[in-house]
A = this chain, B = another copy of it.
C-alpha cells in the first residue's frame, strides 16, 4: 500500500466537521479505491475548546492557519476558513508556496484572486481544487474541467444561490411577500442575519465568475459581472409570471456573444415545465451548453455540511490519485483577459411592470414611449394593483400595467422606460424589469 495522504484542515465549522466525519466513515472505502489512506495530520480553528461533537484524538492543533499550511508532514491543505482575503488567502498562498496541494471551498477567495492563485499552484506543480466552491455537492467543476474538454462551451448558467431560490420558491408556492419569506428563511437558517450577500446576488456572482473562466478560458473577472439581486421581486411579479407561464429564478448567466462575453446575475423568468423551473427550495442547478454534447443540466444541493464535504472529499481523492490539473483547464498564463459584451448589446424579451396613475391617457403614453424606442410589445395588460386595492378610498387611484416585449435590445427597453418616467405624472413608483430567459 502506498504512503498515506496527509491532509491539514483549516476551519472546523459545519463543513470542516462534515469532512472530518466523512473521512472517518469512508476510511475503508478509500483504502479499497485508492490503495492508500487519507489521514488528518493537522487542524486549525478559532476556538480549541469548543465541543464540535467529534473527537480528533491526538491530531496536532494549530492556532495559526499559515503555520499549519507550512507545517512539516503535510501533503495537502484544506482551506475552509472563508473570506476573500485575510488569513484564508494568506494560508492558501503559504501552502502553495510550500509546495502543498490545496483544496478549498472558498468562492470569494477564488472569485477575487483565482487567476493569481492558479498561477501559483501551477508554478509549484500542485493542485488547487475548488469543486466545493461552486454549487456545493454538484460535480460541475469536474464536469467542465475534465469530462467536457472535448466541447467548446458557448453558455453556462444556473441557479447558484440556495437562499434566493428558497425565497422565490416559497413566494411562488405560498404567496408571501419578500420580507416575510426572508424572515422565515432566516429563522430556518437558510439566510444569514445580514442577508445582503446572498439576496443581492454577490454569492451567485462569485460562483459565476469561476464558471465563466472554465467555460471560456478567460481570467477570473468578478468585477465584470453585471449584478442584480432579488430584493425588488414582489408577489405581484411572481403571480404575473405564473399567469404568463413562467417562474422567477435568480440566474447567473455567462455566454459568448458576437460582442464579447456576457456575465450577469439577475432575477429572470424561465418557462414553466422546463427542468430548471422545477428546481425548487435551496437546490442549485447548473446548465452547460457545449457544441458537441448539447445541453446538460446538473441539479443538486448547493450547500450544507454533507454536500460540501462530499465535494471537498472528491478533490482530495483526485490528489490522492496523483491527479493535478491547471485549475481553469488551460494553463493560467494562457487565460485571456475577458472581453465583456457591453450591456447595450444585450438582447432579450422583457417583462415590465409599471405602477401608474389610473386615469385616461396613461396607456397611450406608455405605448407611445415604447414605440418611440422601437420596442415592440407582445402584450400590454392593465392589472388591479395590490397598492391600489390597499389604499384608502380618497387617495388618487393607481394601477399596474404589465408589458411583455418581443426580443429586443435591453438598451432600447431601458430607454423606453426612462422616457415614460420622464414624461411626468405617469408612474407612481420605479419600474420593475425582469428579463425573460428563453434557454
CB closest residue in chain B, given A296: B300
* Distance, CA A329 to CA B29, complexed state (A): 10
Shortest C-beta distance, A334 to chain B (Å), equals: 6
**Is A30 an interface position by the 8 A CB rule?**
yes
The stretch among A43-51, A138-146, A256-264, A370-378 that forms the contact with chain B is: A138-146
Partner of A292, one of B18, B149, B150, B325: B18
CB closest residue in chain B, given A19: B150
Q: How many copies does the complex hold?
A: 2
**Is A294 an interface position by the 8 A CB rule?**
yes
Partner of A151, one of B292, B310, B325: B310
Residues facing B in A275-323 (CB within 8 A) are 275, 277-279, 290-301, 304, 306-307, 309-314, 317-318, 321, 323
Partner of A33, one of B29, B30, B294, B329: B329
Are A279 and B275 in contact (CB-based, < 8 A)?
A: yes
Q: With A278-B278, A304-B294 as given contacts, are A314 and B32 in contact (CB-CB < 8 Å)?
A: no
**Is A98 an interface position by the 8 A CB rule?**
no
**Is A346 an interface position by the 8 A CB rule?**
no
Q: Which residues of B contact A223 (CB under 8 A)?
A: none
**Is A22 an interface position by the 8 A CB rule?**
yes
Q: Which residues of B contact A313 (CB under 8 A)?
A: 149-150, 292
Given contacts A293-B301, A293-B306, 13 further A-B contacts (CB under 8 A): A22-B150, A25-B152, A137-B294, A137-B296, A138-B296, A139-B147, A142-B147, A147-B314, A149-B317, A150-B310, A277-B278, A296-B298, A298-B298
Query: Which A residues contact B (CB, under 8 angstroms)?
Result: 18, 22, 25-26, 29-30, 32-33, 131, 137-139, 142-143, 146-152, 217, 273-275, 277-279, 290-301, 304, 306-307, 309-314, 317-318, 321, 323, 325-326, 329-331, 334
